[in-house]
Amino acid sequence: MLSENEKHALNLIDDDELIGWVQALTRIPSVWKPAEGIGEEAAARWIEARCHEIGLETHFEFVVPGRPNVIAFLRSRPGTTPDAPYPTLMFEGHTDVVTEGDPAQWTHPPFGAVIRDGRIYGRGANDMKAGLCCALMAIKSIQRSGVALAGDIVLGAVCDEEGSMIGIKHFVERGWADRVTACIVCEPEENHLCIAQKGVMWVRCVIHGVMAHGAMPLTGVNAAYPLARFLSQVHALEEREIVRHGRHEFLGQPSITPTIVMSPARGGGEPQNNVMPGAAECVLDVRLIPGQDPEDIARRIETMLAASVAVDGRLRGEVQVIEVRYPTSTDRHHPIVQALAGAYADLTGAPPVYGGVPGSTDGTILHARKGIPIVTCGPGDIHIPHHVDEWVSIEEIKLAARLYVLAAIRYLGHQ
Ligand SMILES: [Zn+2]
């Protein structure tokens, strides 16, 4: 059931303006190409300008040159910071997009934002400029409706989600997340409520042997065989983890995938048919589901590598954990999930679809560093990000903006 306040705010959503925004933002290429002087700045300036038009308290911060974050607040009590705890809802999105690849492969120009058959085509239209524009429109409609919320809304439009996530890390380091009590990550999820997210750990393992002529291998020590033994143990570890943790209802089973296997190791020169390299390396892409402990897995990997090199005193193993992002999950009964679920049911007449995110997002950082409950929910086909002919459904855009309006009003409450 919709309240009068909610109906009023929903009526203020201007769909034509919203679709125009998605097109305008998609037409600003924001692929990170430092050599060509292209990054997120122009897209971030466009968002900043919309925030000023709406009348939000807006901050523009460079994380590194050419790569800014935009932070904007709709304050429940402008200009004051209440002492009593109060909720703050964050809408989160990234301004960077991945490369368009070869434009000749595209049916429509990658940055043309052409509309065909109810879809907007373009690199970043789906991932995730549509989601950002829906958050902006939701905030604008709530602001114009004059509904007095009992908490703040903050929009974080950050850089570099597709890279090392320096944007959201900077956002957290600057303290912007300190008061956030829940976050909707506006990534393309077909407006499903994604309440779980896989974690990831990348581990580089190097085995150092002794380089030799391929005709006289006994004058050196081959690193490839111990690496092969190690990899078969890694496979067994993966199987044990699957048995131990089973299938997550949204995320499926955990995995450990060797994504890079090479000899010579990086930095070991060009491979040659008659040269036995001095080192071999692999990178393990470990995908984690809630309940798994990345530190425990890293320790097991280290023990296995040590055992693989123990056969010869001249072999040496080296393990490097490159990155760890923990899996996340948010309880179905958390108020932000309930707010979105109720909104979905009221707007569509159907029960919400719950899901999980197989990769990691900026939400992973918010959850890991600040314990913020996150729900990933936004417009756009789940499988289309990073593809040629990327598109986003206009119907899903319209629904997402409405979901955000209702979720914000219901989560934050009225004064
Ligand atoms: Zn994305």
Q: Strand pairing partners for 318?
A: 206
User: 396 and 306, same structural domain?
Assistant: no
Domain shared by 158 and 92, yes or no: yes
Residue 84 pLDDT: 66
Asked if 84 and 221 sit in the same domain, the reply is no
Q: Are 43 and 165 in the same domain?
A: yes
Cα-to-centroid distance, 95 and ligand 1 (Å) = 9
Tokens of 76: 């429940």
Q: What is the 3-state secondary structure (H, E, C) of 313-335?
A: CCCEEEEEEEEEECCEECCCCCH
Task: Report the pLDDT value the prediction gives residue 332, as an integer from 0 to 100.
Answer: 96
What's the gap in Å between 160 CA and the centre of ligand 1? Answer: 10
> Are residues 311 and 352 both part of a single domain?
no
Same domain for 376 and 255? Answer: no
- Say how many Å lie between the CA of residue 164 and the centre of ligand 1: 13
Q: What is the pLDDT of residues 269-324, one digit of tens each?
A: 999 999 999 999 999 999 999 999 999 999 999 999 999 999 999 999 999 999 89
Q: If you measure from the C-alpha of residue 361 to the centroid of ligand 1, how many angstroms do you get, rounded to a whole number?
A: 7
Query: Looking at this protein, which amino acid is placed at residue 200?
Result: V
User: Domain boundary at 277, 307, 325, which?
Assistant: 325
Same domain flag for 308 and 334:
no
Ligand 1 centre and the CA of 129: distance in Å? 9
pLDDT at 87 over 80: yes
Q: Ligand 1 centroid vs 151 CA: distance in angstroms?
A: 27
Q: Is the pLDDT at 86 greater than 90, yes or no?
A: no
Q: Which residues of 64-96 are buried (b: 16+ CB within 10 A; e: fewer)?
A: eebbbbbbbbbbbeeeeeeeeebbbbbbbbbbb
Average pLDDT over residues 150-177: 96
Cis (ω within 30 of 0) for the bond into 128?
Answer: yes
Q: Ligand 1 centre from 194 Cα, in Å?
A: 14
Distance 79 CA to ligand 1 centre (A): 33
Q: Based on the domain organization, do 59 and 135 belong to the same domain?
A: yes
User: 201 alpha carbon to ligand 1 midpoint, in Å?
Assistant: 19
72 plus 143 within the same structural domain: yes
User: In terms of residue numbers, what domain contains 151?
Assistant: 4-197+327-412
**d(CA 124, ligand 1 centre) in Å:** 8
Whether residue 292 sits in one domain with residue 218: yes
Choose among 335, 354, 322, 380: nearest CA to 164.
322
Q: What spacing in Å lies between the alpha carbon of 360 and ligand 1's midpoint?
A: 9
Mean pLDDT, the chain, whole residue set? 95
Mean of pLDDT values over 116-129: 98
Check which CATH number belongs to the domain holding 42 and give it: 3.40.630.10
Report the separation in Å between the CA atom of 132 and the middle of ligand 1, taken as the mean of its atom positions: 10
> How high is the pLDDT of residue 81?
59
Instruction: Report how far ligand 1's centroid is from the alpha carbon of 184 (Å).
Output: 13
Q: How many distinct structural domains can be found in the chain?
A: 2
pLDDT digits (tens, 9 = 90+) for 238-278: 999 999 999 999 999 999 999 999 999 999 999 999 999 99
Q: What is the pLDDT of residues 324-349, one digit of tens each?
A: 989 999 999 999 999 999 999 999 99
pLDDT of residue 76: 86
How large is the average pLDDT for residues 168-177? Answer: 98
Q: Residue 189 Cα, ligand 1 centroid: separation in angstroms?
A: 10
Helix (H, G, I), strand (E, B) or coil at 66: coil
Domain end (from 299, 325, 351): 325
What are the tens digits of pLDDT across the range 6-57? Answer: 999 999 999 999 999 999 999 999 999 989 989 999 999 999 999 999 999 9
Cβ burial of 228 (10 Å; 0-12, 13-18, 19+) is middle
Residues 311 and 339 in one domain: no
- The residue among 325, 353, 369 that closes a domain is 325
Q: Are 87 and 182 in contact (CB under 8 A)?
A: yes
- Contact in structure between 61 and 172 (CB atoms under 8 Å): no
Please say if the pLDDT value at position 228 is more than 90. yes
30 plus 81 within the same structural domain: yes
